[in-house]
Structure formats: C-alpha cells, structure tokens
Structure 1
Amino acid sequence: MYQIKKLIVCLDQSDLDETLVRFASFVSRVNQTKKIYFTNVIRNLQIPKEVLEEFPNLIDNMVEERKRQMKDVVDKNFSKKEDIEFSYVVKEGQLSKKILKLAHEKSADMIIIGRKVTLPGTGVISQRLARRASCSLLIIPEKAEPKMDKLLVPSDFSDYSKDALEEAIIIVEKYGGKAEIICQNVFTIPSGYHFTGKSYEEFTSIMLMHAEINFKKFIRNIDTKNLKITPIYTQDDDDDPVEEIIAKAKEISADGIIIGAKGRTAATALFIGSMAERLIQLNETFPLLVTRPKGKNAGILDYILEI
C-alpha cells in the first residue's frame, strides 16, 4: 500500500460532515498525510444572467460562505493539524465528475465519502466513484466511529482479494498491530451436487475442506507481518454472499470491511466486482474501504473531459 499523502474528503453541509472529518483525522494520523482537500460540489445553479448582472458577487459570496462552513467543521473535528496543509475546494457541476477530476488533477491517494441512511439528501454517488476513481475509496456510513479493533476482509482467494488483505495487514501494522483481521470466505453448494452421489452434508464438508486448503495456499503468498489472520468459512444458502458478509460483520462488531476492486488494469478497472458492488449498495453500517492500486482507473480522462 502506498502512503496516503493526498486525501480528498467530500462534504455536503449535512451532519455527516463531522463524521467524515473525524475519519480524515484518523486516517491521516499514521499515513504521513501532507495535503487534504475538503470538497463541496454545488449542483448546477442555473441562475438567470439578469440576476448575476444585478448581483455580480452572488456566486463568489456563496463559494466563500461554503468554504467558511467547511473550515468551521474541520476546526471542530480534526484533532491534528501539524504538517498537514488543508485546502477548501468548492466546485459547481455534476458531483461525481467534479470529484473524479479533482482526484485526477491532484493525484489523490484516497477519497473519503459518506453513506447516508436517515439523513436527507442522496450523498455522494459511491458506486460511480468506485468504478472510476484512480485510487482507493473509503465509504463512511452515518454515526460510524473511527476505531481499529476488528477488520473483516471478504476473500475468494483471487488477486484482488490479496490486495485487500495486504491492505488490511499494513493498516493494522500502522495502528500498532493489535487489531484482529478476520478473512471470510463465503462458499456455495452447487445445485447439482446430488449427481455426485454425495449427501448435502457430505458435499458441504467437501466444499469446506477445499476452502480451507485454498486459504492455506492463499496466505502462503502474503507477508502477514507476523499478525494473526483468522480465517472463517461461511456457507451461503441464498445465492447472495454479501448478506453473509454483512451478517458476519455485525456478529463480530467489525470496525470496517475491506474489499479489493476487481479491475487491476486500465482495461478492466470499470469492473469493481459484483461483491464490491453489492456491498456498496447494501452496507449501511460499516466503513467500507474499496482498495485499488493508485492509477488503475478506466476511461477517466474521457469521462472528466466531458465536463
């Protein structure tokens, strides 16, 4: 994992802003962060030309007011400011495009966005950012608290699962090495198992055995930094492994879920993976980190040049 030296935090003047600023403070504490861009995007204003002619400072005053409001939230909730430069950025236009363009221009290492549940408004369009961003994305639900005791890492033993687990290991090491990492594999019993002559229970045992074998192969290729990695195996009964992941996160009181974006090259980066997509959709409780090696984006230039 690269250092998170440049961080973008997406604020929208809701109560969720305080939570996002606290997480930004938490992330920056151990990451040698040098620059944080606190960002607010105003939707297209469509103010009549006649009004702007009569009040020429209207937009400039609005921008300055929003910057002051962001600064007030930061001053109240950011616990460490030494050696970190803050920048307050207000843009007008389509939310996701403006954030992606800023991340591209500033070569950001991480974007922090909110996940609204009960608060008014829609929040940031996290799926679009997860597909297009050229860096990792941290999605923070309402009322989440920045803690580091237990991290859940769903894994299918693929390369992008390896990225996620390595990220978790480095994060835990940075925060003192005391947090527990739980690596969860969700397996499904194939519908045609009965043609093998095995009972349901027998085939479940077979699937579990292979999951355990595959984990041992998987973990051999990862530098665990001597941290304890606890594997758990969960049987999926309803063809939706994401429900099993969220249920396990609730059971263990996870402080966060880390999953790798499926796209590892420019040609495949739009495909963040069905599991990551579903987690972004369904998870309303746990901070979710979607990891992507910096610079592995798809079509970002074509996308932002449409602005």
Structure 2
Amino acid sequence: MYQIKKLIVCLDQSELDETLVKFASFVARVNQTKKIYFTNVIRNLNIPKEVLEEFPNLIDNIVEERKTKMKDLVTQAFGKIKDVEVSYVVKEGQLSKKILKLAHEKSADMIILGRKVDLTGTGVLSQRLARRASCSLLIVPEHSVPKIDKLLVPSDFSDYSKDALEEAVMIVEKYGGKAEIFCQNVFSIPSGYHFTGKTYEEFAAIMQMHAEINFKKFIRKIDTKNIKITPLYTKDEDDDPVEDILAKAEEINADGIIIGAKGRTAATALFIGSMAERLIQMNHKIPLLVTRPKGKNAGILDYILEI
C-alpha cells in the first residue's frame, strides 16, 4: 500500500474539528506526510448581485475569516511536525464535489472527515466520498482518541480484504509494530443445511472449519512483517454481519476498523460493497478506514463531477 504523503482534512467549524486535527497530526507523524490541506467548504452563499456590488469584499472577507479560524485551531491542536507543509483551502459550493475535486487535483492519498453523533449533521458525505473518492477515507466519530493498540479487519478473504489487511499491517509497522490486528470472518449457516443430515451445530462447525482453512490460504499471500494477527470466526445469527463486526469491535476495544472498498478497478469504482456501506451508516463509535488503491476512481471523476 502507498504512503500517506498528501492528506486532506475536512473541517466545518464544529467541535469535531479539534478531533480531526488531532487525527491528522497522528497520521502525519509517522507517515512521512509532506502536505496537509485543511479544508472548509462554504455552502452556496446565494448573495444577490446588488449586495455584492455594494460590498465587493464580502466573500473575500468570509473566506479569510474561515482560514484564520482554521489556522488558530491547527496551531493549538496540531503541535509541531517537521517537514510538513500546511495549506488552508476554503471553497464555495457543494461539499462532496469540492472535496472530490480537491483530492483529485492534489493527488491526495487520504481524506479525513468526521462522523457526527450528538452534534448536528448527517453521514451522507461519508457515503458519497467513500463511493467516489480516488483514495482512502478515514471517518472519525466525535470524541474519538487517536491511538493504535488493536485494529479489527473484517475479511471475506477477497482481494479487497487483502488490501485492508495489508494496510493494517503497514499501519501497525509504522506505529512500532506492537499493536495487534484481529482479522474477523463472519460466516452464516445456509438455510438448507438440514438436507445434509447434519444438525445446526454440526453444520456450523463445518462452516467454521472451512473459514479456518480459507484464512490459512489467505494469510499466506500477505507479508505480515511478524506482526501478530489473530483470526476471529463469528457465526452470523441474524443475517446482519455488520452488527457482528461492530459488536466484536466493541468487545475487543478496537481503536479502528479497516475495510477495503470493493471497487478495485475503473469499471467497478463506484461500488464499495454493501458491508462497507452499512458500516459507514451504522458505525458511530470507532474510527473507520475505507481503503482504496490510489487513483482507481480517477478515470471517471470528470463524469462524476458533472452529475
């Protein structure tokens, strides 16, 4: 996986901004990050032409005020990191389009944005960016604390699961190699299991056995760099694997969940997978990293920005 050399941090002048700045600092410290763009998007102002003629500096003053507030916050919360260039970008328009365009223009490696729980706001931006961004996306719920002791990687042993686990290994290696990675496979029992003559419990054991075999094949493809990776096998009882993932994340006190975007080629770039979609919708406690090989959406971005 690639290094996080260019980072975009989406701020909105809410209390969540301080948390996002702290996460940006945490990410930048060991990733050889060279450039961070702290970004704020002003919704369409719709100021009448006559008003702008009377007050020609109004928009410039609004932009400058927002930049100043971002600078003050970053100065207080970011701390000193050598060799990192910081820029403040204020745009006007539709939030998701402006962030996507900026990420494309700057060839960003990661976008960090917040997930509001008690604060006013929605998760729509997270879903749009996860589908359309040409880089990885870190979604940080309010009150989160940046640390890496335990990471949970849901896995169905696919190529995009491999991307996510490799990202987790790289993150842990960069942060000293002492954190533990849990690789969780959620398996279900097919409704026709009784035609085999096996009991529910017997067939569940068979399904888990095959999951264990598949994990061993899967892990052989990955350079684990001697980092501890613990496999977890969870039987899905209610046909909702995302609830099982979130329950396990809470049970092990995970500091983050990492999942791969399903769209790994230009042809499938708009698909992040139903599990990733549901995790974005339902998770409001644990930082969630949606990984995507850099640039996979770039070929269709011009079309997206016209939608």
TM-score over 0.5 for the pair: yes
CA contact (8 A) 2:29 2:81 kept: no
8 A contact 2:123–2:281 mirrored in 1: no
Amino acid at match of 1:68: T
* Aligned-residue offset at 1:81: 3.0
Question: CA offset at residue 120 of structure 1?
Answer: 1.6
Consecutive unaligned residues of structure 2, counting only runs of 5 or more, are none
Q: Residues 63 and 107 from structure 1, CA distance in 2 versus in 1: closer, same or farther, beyond 3 angstroms?
A: same
In structure 1, list runs of 5 or more residues that go unmatched: none
* AA of the residue aligned to 1:178: K
User: Matched residue pairs, number?
Assistant: 306
Report the 3-state secondary structure (helix = DSSP H, G, I; strand = E; otherwise coil) of the residue aligned with 1:299: helix
1:255 and 1:109 map into 2 onto residues whose CA distance is: 21
Which residue identity is paired with 1:177? G
CA 1:301 to 1:161, structure 2 compared with 1: closer, same or farther past 3 Å?
same
Give the superposition deviation at 1:300: 1.0
Distance across 1 between alignment mates of 2:139 and 2:80:
21
What is the DSSP-based 3-state SS (H/G/I as helix, E as strand, rest coil) of the residue aligned with 1:103?
helix
Partners of 1:47 and 1:121 in 2: how far apart?
Answer: 24
1:284 pairs with 2:253: no
1:300 and 2:306 aligned: no
What's the CA shift string for 1:143-182, capped at 9, x where partnerless?
A: 0000010000000000000000000001000000000000
| 1:160 matched residue in structure 2 | 160
Aligned 8 A contact 1:113 1:124 in 2: no
Q: Distance in 2 between matches of 1:79 and 1:123?
A: 29
The answer to whether 1:44 aligns with 2:61 is: no
Where has structure 1 moved over 3 Å in runs of 4 or more? none
Question: RMSD over aligned Cα, in angstroms?
Answer: 1.0
Partner of 2:245: 245
Give, as a single letter, the amino acid of the residue that structure 1 aligns with 2:45: L
Displacement of 1:79: 1.9
Aligned partners of 1:75, 1:247: CA distance in 2, in Å?
Answer: 37
Cα distance, 1:195 vs structure 2: 1.0
2:262 match: 262
Query: Structure 1 residue 124: deviation in Å?
Result: 6.4
Letter in 1 for 2:72: D
Q: Is the 8 A contact 1:29 1:80 kept in 2?
A: no
Moved more, 1-10 or 79-88: 79-88
CA contact (8 A) 1:7 1:111 kept: yes
- 1:100 is aligned to 100
**CA-to-partner distance for each residue in 1:250-306, whole Å, 9 max, x for gaps?**
000000000000011010011100110000000000000000010011621112245
1:235 aligns with 2:235: yes
Counterpart of 1:273? 273
Distance (whole Å) between structure 2 residues aligned to residue 91 and residue 28 of structure 1: 24
Secondary structure of 1:86 counterpart: strand
Amino acid at match of 1:228: K
Conserved? CA contact 1:114–1:124, under 8 Å: no
User: How many angstroms apart in 2 are the aligned matches of 1:58 and 1:122?
Assistant: 29
Distance of 1:123 and 1:75 partners within structure 2: 28
Q: Secondary structure at the match of 1:275?
A: helix
CA distance in 1, matches of 2:75, 2:103: 23
Deviation, structure 1 residue 203: 0.3
Offset, 1:122:
3.0
Report the CA distance between 1:80 and its aligned residue.
2.6
Cα distance between partner residues in 1 of 2:229 and 2:123: 34
Q: What is the aligned partner in structure 1 of residue 86 from structure 2?
A: 86
SS at match of 2:121: coil
Distance 1:85 1:128 in 2: 28
Distance 1:123 1:210, change over 3 A: closer
TM-score, normalised to structure 1's length? 0.98
* 1:42-82 deviation digits (Å, cap 9, x = unpaired): 00010111111111110000000000000111011102332
**Alpha carbons of structure 1 residues 150 and 202: separation in structure 2 relative to 1, 3 Å:** same
* Residues 12-42 of structure 1: per-residue CA shift (max 9 Å, x gap): 0000000000000000001111110000000
